[in-house]
Amino acid sequence: MLRERVEEALDGIRPALQADGGDIMLVDVDEKNGVVKVQLQGACSGCPSAQMTLAMGVERAIREKVPEIKEVLSV
């Protein structure tokens, strides 16, 4: 299932986020449109680098493991 694969990808980057006092939660996976919605938590939610983390870290990690995903949004 797509959602499980996305969770696995997030589990791979979660330790790095937690090391900086943050975390990430999977909110939704729109399988039809290939869109994942996540919520950055803790220190990540207010971090000035959050958009960079989302694009370069989270989105890349998810798309590497789950190529069907086209976009990752922070909600």
Structure tokens belonging to residue 22? 């943050």
| Domain residue spans of the chain | 2-74
- How many other β-carbons are positioned within 10 Å of the β-carbon of residue 73? 14
Per-residue model confidence as pLDDT tens digits over 17-69: 999 899 999 999 999 999 999 999 998 888 888 888 888 889 999 999 999 99
| 2-74 classified as CATH 3.40.50.720 | no
Q: What is the pTM of this model?
A: 0.89
Pairing of strands 35-42, 71-74: parallel
